Amino acid sequence: MSTPLSRVPRLTLVVSALTLAAHAAHAQPTPPTGGMRLDAAVADSFARAARARPRPTVNVIKMTDGSTPVIDGRLDEALWQQGTPVSEFVQRELNEGVPASERTDVRFASDGKYLYIGARMYDRQPSLIIPGEKIRDVTLANSDYVAFIFDTYHDHQNGFVFATTPAGVEYDGQVIREGEGGGTNVPGQNRMQAGAMGGFNVNWDASWAVATTVDSLGWSAEFRIPYSTLRYQSANGEQSWGLNVSRMIRRKNEELYWSFIPRQFNLYRLSLAGNLAELTLPVRRIQTVTPYVLTSNQARWDKGLKSSTSPSEFGGEIKYGVTPALTLDLTVNTDFAQVEVDDQRVNLTRFPIFFPEKRPFFLENAGVFSAGTPQAVDLFFTRRIGISETGTPQPILGGGRLSGRVGSTTIGLLQMVTDAPEAGTSGQSYSVARAIRELGARSRLGVMAVQRLSTEDAGNVNRTFALDGRWGLGQKWTTDVWAAKTSTPGRTGDDMAYSARAAFATNVFNANARVAQIGEDFNPEVGFMSRPAGYRTFDATAMYLVRKPEWSWFRQWNPHVSYRGFYDIDDGFRQTGYWHIDVTEIEFANSSRFGPEWNISQEGLTQPFEISPGVVLPAGQYEWGTLGFDYTTDPSENVTATGRFDFGNFWTGTRNGGSGTLTVRRGATFSGSLTVDHNDVRLPQGNFKRTLQAVRLNYFFTPRIFVQTLTQYNNQQRIWSANVRFGWLNTAGTGLFVVLNDGRDATGFFNWVRPQQRSVFVKFTRQFGTTG
């Protein structure tokens, strides 16, 4: 058993620190013992040294003999012994700046068509490697992984992420604005639902290959990424890209970086990335055709009468690289039958719930079209295209998108046309134009115009015009602003809106503040608004981070407080106020956490609010306090739990309850979870309960063959639903899909009253053409 470092004499600590620092200056650092924690002064010296390191550079190995590596994860080709590997990794967590406890070697090679990566993750205890689930875009932090980010335009803001786990999954995504979405958190929304709020798009799926192996030395991975999958400036001699490499040793919760990233940032911080040099890139551009064939049987019940349809459909997409940096996408008879269903949620507020976009066509380069404040005032929200307010799909006849880079300007043009969803309605045309100019130093300026136009009535139109910008001041300060105007026939009042936000972040303190005003006639019909227009809002957050490097079980204590308020523009009437006070939240070294909190809610009603059928709250001002408690166990364990509970007053009475999820995993092949959200509300106006139950079962035969099920019951809508998806993937999310949906009126999870709808879809899609 190793001796805790806090018990070692100070002289030994100094000698150890000098030894580690000396090794850090050479190719192979001598790692500290895994799990070791440091004296605070020694830990601080490592962090200062890491921040002073110059940004590293690695050269690509040029393959000239015509041979290419077999993508099997074994790294047995002579190629992977050439050149100097990326190997000097330091910790972001748990001990900032300390050399890695396990060695990592990564090499990059190119044959002019593909970028190859060979990564060897040494591990002295390979039996303890955590492989994670075998599903694309799995949550990386729950397992060991290796990840790469490429800043292909070298603008220090935008990039592409590729990663894998020992299970051999494909994980990819697009980063804009260094992953800083600048959105707003929603009360009751968990961290996973909030996501990056506009800064990172994990749902983007590219065409590439990866394979992994686990052996006595640890684990290894081989990647083959077609250059055409990426977007970069037109080739003109050799180029350099921004690059960073990250590795997670999950059982130690040790997060490592090649180009050091302070703990207040993450992999997306491209302004702190290193360089991938001597890239000779092809002028060959992507040209693919992705057709699909779909057959289905759909049944609906209306007043007990059943109607059935069995349509067959054809359609697809064409992708054409106008330049290596600019891509045209065309789609005909667009279909999304294979997309997973939304998670249902309990809503105890007066306002709509945000559900993220999941449809593949709208996800590529989605960040280009992001403007406004995500999840609060999205100026353009693709779920308005082809999905009704109730979530019912509407026919999309087709459309196109031109997106990418022209010089230092990012452009996006989108045109989509939908059919009339039912009798008495008209089809719609949706047009979006977007341009963003990169200004350097984490700064940019953008403009956007959005239009919805009825295909049958030119007077039925809505338009939005916007200007936005972001400025980075050093690494600590970020500011962003936007202003927008809408045009809607019949609305002549204030149709302007604006927002300004400033954020400050260091490794011990972060804070942000925002002010926004939304005019009463501001109406972005192809956007998302979390509440009706006509308000002024202020919000601010401050968080302090306390570390104790000498405590092996402890990561940090993060006391924080936030406030969010909404007021009528004219008379200052308070619509909503919300104080979140949490001075006890603790995160442990294994990523588990817990924290009691106190929340103060303030609501103003100008008219009665029916919170539940027959339960009506009168107009007036209300204020109440609630004791909350949230927790998360170690997410890498085979059995994990997460949730939050709230106890206390609620409007004129009380609310007790909360939500929790229990997850069980068996290796990399099976996972299942049970989620229960239950609220017992007791008011003088009436009592009611809100309950949501959801069961997920997933089996992964391989990283590309899976069965997933999601069964949900929500007593607010009195609906029971089931979704079963079988997928046999090929590349870039294409392949064979079999999807079963069943919906029923119900009074409980097992108490079904009558059927609503049932459908079975069988869809096959295949990608043809040039991808390299």
DSSP state letters, 287-344: EEEEEEEEEEEEEEEETTEEEEE--EEEEEEEEEEEETTEEEEEEEEE--TTSPPPPP
What pLDDT does residue 198 have?
56
CA distances from 121 to 141, 343, 627 (A): 16, 36, 45
Question: For residue range 539-596, what is the model confidence (pLDDT) as tens digits?
Answer: 999 999 998 888 888 889 999 999 999 999 989 999 999 999 999 899 998 889 998 9
Please provide residue 167's backbone torsions phi and psi, each rounded to the nearest 5 degrees.
-75, -5
pLDDT at res. 772: 47
pLDDT given for residue 391 in this prediction? 62
Of the CA atoms within 13 Å of residue 287, those in its CB half-sphere come to 7
Contact (Cβ atoms closer than 8 angstroms) between residue 154 and residue 240: yes
In angstroms, what CA-CA distances link 9 with 32, 36, 40, 678, 757? 16, 15, 14, 53, 71
Predicted pLDDT at 426: 81
- Of 149, 88, 79, residue with least CA distance to 118: 79
**Alpha carbons 717 and 710: distance in angstroms, whole number:** 17
Can you give the pLDDT at residue 52? 81
Q: What is the structure's pLDDT at 236? A: 66
As given in the structure block, the two tokens for residue 357 are: 């976009």
Which amino acid belongs to residue 287?
A: Q
pLDDT for the residue numbered 168? 94
- Kindly give the parts of the chain with pLDDT less than 50: 1-34, 185-197, 772
* Sequence-ordered list of residues with C-beta below 8 angstroms from that of 458, at least 6 positions apart, any chain: none
Give the HSE-up count for residue 770: Cα atoms under 13 Å, Cβ half-sphere: 13
611: enclosing H helix or E strand: strand 609-612
CA distance 532 to 520: 8
CA-CA distance, 567 to 555, in Å (whole number)?
A: 39
pLDDT at 423: 64
- What's the start-to-end Cα distance of the chain, in Å? 52
On the CB side of 26, how many CA atoms lie within 13 Å of its CA? 8
CB atoms within 10 A of CB 20: 20
pLDDT of residue 38: 67
CB atoms within 10 A of CB 604: 17
Return d(Cα 435, Cα 447) in angstroms, integer: 6
pLDDT per position as a tens digit, 190-241: 333 333 345 788 878 888 999 999 999 999 999 999 988 888 887 667 889 9
**Residue 391: phi, psi to the nearest 5?**
90, 5
- In three-state secondary structure terms, 410 is strand
3 state DSSP class of 51: helix
Mention every residue, 6+ apart, whose C-beta is less than 8 A from residue 389.
none
Query: In 154-300, which residue ranges form alpha helices assigned H by DSSP?
Result: 191-194
